[in-house]
Structure formats: C-alpha cells, structure tokens
Amino acid sequence: MNTESATTPFMTRSASLRACCAWLGSLRGKSMLALLVLVTYGLLVGVFTNMERKKLLDTVHELEAVHRSEEQLVQINMSMARTLLTVNIAFSAADPLSAAPPTVIEIEATRSLLTALEGRHARVLMLANKLEALVNDIVHQTTRGVLAVTRNTLHELITELDAITHQTREEKLRLLDAYQATYDRVTLQGMVFSAIAFIMLGAAITVFFKRLSDDILRLETRAREIVQGYRGAPLTVNRHDEVGRLIEAVNRMQHDLRERERHIERSRQEEFHREKMAAIGSLAAQLAHEINNPIAAISGVADAILDMRQEHACAHRGRHCQPEMILEQTRRISTITRQIADFAHPQPAVPQLQDVNQLVRNTCAFLSFDQRFRHLKLEPHLDSELPAVRIIADQLTQVLLNLLINAADALEDTSRSESRIEVSTRCEDDRVLLQVTDNGKGMDAETAARVFDEFFTTKPVGKGTGLGLSLSRELIREAGGILQIDSTPGFGTTATIELPVPHCDDNTMADKPDACAGH
C-alpha cells in the first residue's frame, strides 16, 4: 500500500510534466512562450531604463541644489558689494560714528545671508564670526581702524565667495555634462534595445514561418506523391507541435495505404492462385477422364496381345511386337495425370498439419512439365523423418512455386554446362528447414538487400511484378516462419524457409498420429 501510494503521485507528476511539455511544444504553447519572452525582455529593459532615469532625476535634483546655491551666492555677493560700499563710505566720512548705524545694518544683513554657507564652508564660518565681532566693536567704538579691519574682512569674504562661486559653477557644469552623458546613454541604449528586440523578433518570426511554410510544402508535396502512388520512406518528423502531428498522421496514412494495398494485392494474388489451381484441377480431371478411356482400351489390347504371346496363340508370333512397352507407356500416362490431379487437388484454406515432403514432390512433379525446367536438373533431397508442420498447404505451394520459378529464371541466362536446382528439407532445433538452391549467377549485396521490397524486380518488363518474394515472406511470416535469401555473385542463390514444428499435444496426435515422427 505504501509503495502504491508513493508511486501514484510520482506517476501523476510525470504525466503532468509530459502534458506540460506537450503543451509547450504546440503552436499555442510556442506563441505563449514567445509572448512571455517578449514581455520579460520588455520588463528587463524597463527596469534598466528606470534605473538610468533615476540617475537622471538624481542629477536634476543636484542641479536644482546647485542652482539654489548659485542664487544664494548671487544674493550674498550683491549684499557683500553693498556692505563693502557702506563700509568704504563710513571709512571716508568725516565722522565715522555717524555712519556706523547703516554700516551695522548692512553687515547684519550680510551676516544673516552667510548662515546658509557656514555649515558647508569652515572659512566662511570663521570670517562670519570675525565679522560679527567687528560689528560689536563698531557698535561700541567706531574708529577708522575698526572699519579698515572690517573692510579687509569683507575683502577676504568676497575672495572666499568668489572661490565658492567658481567651485559651484564648475559643479554645475559637471552635473550638466553628466546629465547630457546620461541622457545620450539612455537614448542610445533605448535605440539599441529597440533594435535588438526588432531584430530578434523579426528573425524569430522569419525562422518560424519559413520552417512552418517548408513543412507545409513538404506535406503538400508528399500528399500529392501519395495520391500518385508513392509508398517509400516516410517524412522526417522534426517538430512536436500540431504540424508535427499532422506529419505523423500523413506518415500513418501512407503506411496504412501501403498495408491496405499490400493486403489487397495479396488477396488478389491468393485469389488468382486459387482460381488458377481450380482451373488446373478442373482441366486435370477432365483430361484424366478423357485420357483414361482410350488408355484403358490400349491397355486392354496390350494385355490381350501379351496373353496371346504367352499362350503361343499369336498369329504374328516371332515378329517385332512389344506389348510390354505399350503397357509401360500407359502406366506412365496414368501416373502423369494422377500427379497433375494430386497437385491441383483443392486444399483447405485453414492451417492444418501437412507433409512438407509430399508438397515438395507434387510441386516439383508439376513444374517438370514447364518448358523452363526441361533443360534443368531438379534435385529433391528430402528428409524422410521430417515432422509435419501446421500451415495452409496452398500457401506453401504458392511460395515454393515462386522460389522455383525465380531459380529457373536466374539460370536462364547462365552459361553453365549443368544448370541445377536443389530442393532440400531437414529438421533443426524444432524448426523445419526447406531450402531452394540454384547455381545461377547470384545477386550482388545491393540487389540482395532489396529482394523483399515491394515492386522491386530485376526481371524484364512483363515478366515480373516485384511482389512475389514480398508476398511469400508475408505468407511464411503469418505461418510463424521465416523466409531468408542468401546469394553470392557468380555462385548462386539459396532461399531458406524456416517453419516451426508444432508441439506434440493430444490434439496433434488425434489429428495426425505421425505428426511428431522424427521430432
């Protein structure tokens, strides 16, 4: 229970992961992924741009502070100029004491303006304190000496303020340059990011739609080829979206059509074989019936002649007379008609235990009347202890006929002094082996690799369809066996049929007691 409980969530997670991967591989998933990438890129660019904008805002704030400082310095400088003028007037007056009140007022006004700079500039603070002490001296004792010191102090303050003003202007110029540089950088970065986004998006769209159009064109071309009869290699599936599934569907359609056509062709071939065998059987029965009557009469006459010779009652005794030859030839004609009748005898269309050796004998005897076998040596080497196999006799006969005719065709253009076809049977490791070997011209490796391909043939037009071996392999495969072709150029070809030997159970023994003979 614990193992099942632990396995079920894992299987659920695996199924969810596969479903997620399948969704991401679809066109909808790809479009959503592209949108997500585009939004992420936009957000990253926005965050980066916002950071640069913050730098610009900080620079603007610093510029505002510098601008305020500059305005304060202007006011202080103007106040200092008025104060210095007042001190100079008081210093030049005939009675300095009478000019003291305006001087004190101007110095106090200037002193109040200097408080904004005292926290940032130590020397300004020092001179401001000195100026404040001088104000006390002017109030209590207005002399030219005090006014002269005051004037010098004001000159020092003006000099210090000029330095501060110059420093402030330099800071303002530096901030303006930094602002301009940041603005240019943000503008350039915006253009670069926009160009990158445009190029990437354009490239992605171009590649996506080009690949999509190419695959659709491949599908269109293959569909047209399938309609025209193409049954070769399937299309390569290099994508996992809806178009990929459509390619797989077209490949399945092509495979199903090929299987359907193969089934139809096989059914047609089997039906043609059955009709041909039925026609041969009907013809053989009619011939046997028509031939047996004159053969019986000839045999009766020959028997009578032979009896008269043996009883010395023949009127032509001593003359050239061979009733034995007549009897031998009549027996031969009867054997031939019986062989044709046995070969063409209708067989059940269901698998049954069959004597392979007898099927081989009947087929070889039937083909001996074919003109292609008149100049060939057909040698059966059959294992007398061969076990029976479960197969449809008509199908094995059809395969054997195909193999023997192919062997005869391979020997047709050879220059050998003795053309030979050997048919052998034996049992190895619970398998019955049926081999057809010829000493013809053989096949090269490229041809041997394609012998089972549909519609592949090396025979002239009108002599072969390229379906015989493919159909033969299917028939043997359905019987649980294997059909193999081995060929050596210049030495010949061997076709090997391997059929399984059925187990010796009660049904087998009841059906055919000698089914396991020699097994």
For 377-417, write each residue's pLDDT tens digit: 888 889 888 898 998 887 888 888 888 888 888 887 666 66
Please list, in sequence order, all residues whose beta carbon lies within 8 angstroms of the beta carbon of residue 347, skipping any fewer than 6 positions away.
Answer: 392, 393, 394, 397
What's the mean pLDDT in 65-86?
85
Looking at mean pLDDT, say which of 274-288, 397-411, 446-460 comes out highest: 397-411
pLDDT at 506: 42
Q: What percent of the chain has pLDDT over 90?
A: 3
Write down the pTM of the prediction. 0.45
- What's the rounded Cα separation, in Å, for the pair 217 and 194? 34
Alpha-carbon distances, residue 469 vs 183, 431, 481 (angstroms): 81, 21, 14
Mean pLDDT of the chain: 77
- Other Cβ atoms within 10 Å of 86 Cβ, number: 19
Question: And the tokens for 48?
Answer: 């980066």
What's the mean pLDDT in 254-278?
72
Burial class of residue 404 in the structure, from the number of CB atoms within 10 Å of its CB (0-12 exposed, 13-18 middle, 19+ buried): buried
pLDDT at 336: 63
Question: And the tokens for 381?
Answer: 């080497």
Name the band, by pLDDT with cuts 50, 70 and 90, for residue 509. very low
For 159-211, write each residue's pLDDT tens digit: 888 888 898 889 889 888 888 888 888 888 888 888 888 888 888 888 888 88
What's the mean pLDDT in 66-84?
85
Question: And the tokens for 275?
Answer: 């009709």
Alpha-carbon distances, residue 265 vs 214, 256, 460 (angstroms): 35, 14, 21
Q: Among 343, 469, 497, 363, which Cα is nearest to 410's? A: 469
Please list, in sequence order, all residues whose beta carbon lies within 8 angstroms of the beta carbon of residue 474, skipping any fewer than 6 positions away.
Answer: 262, 266
Q: Among 164, 163, 144, which Cα is nearest to 152's? A: 144
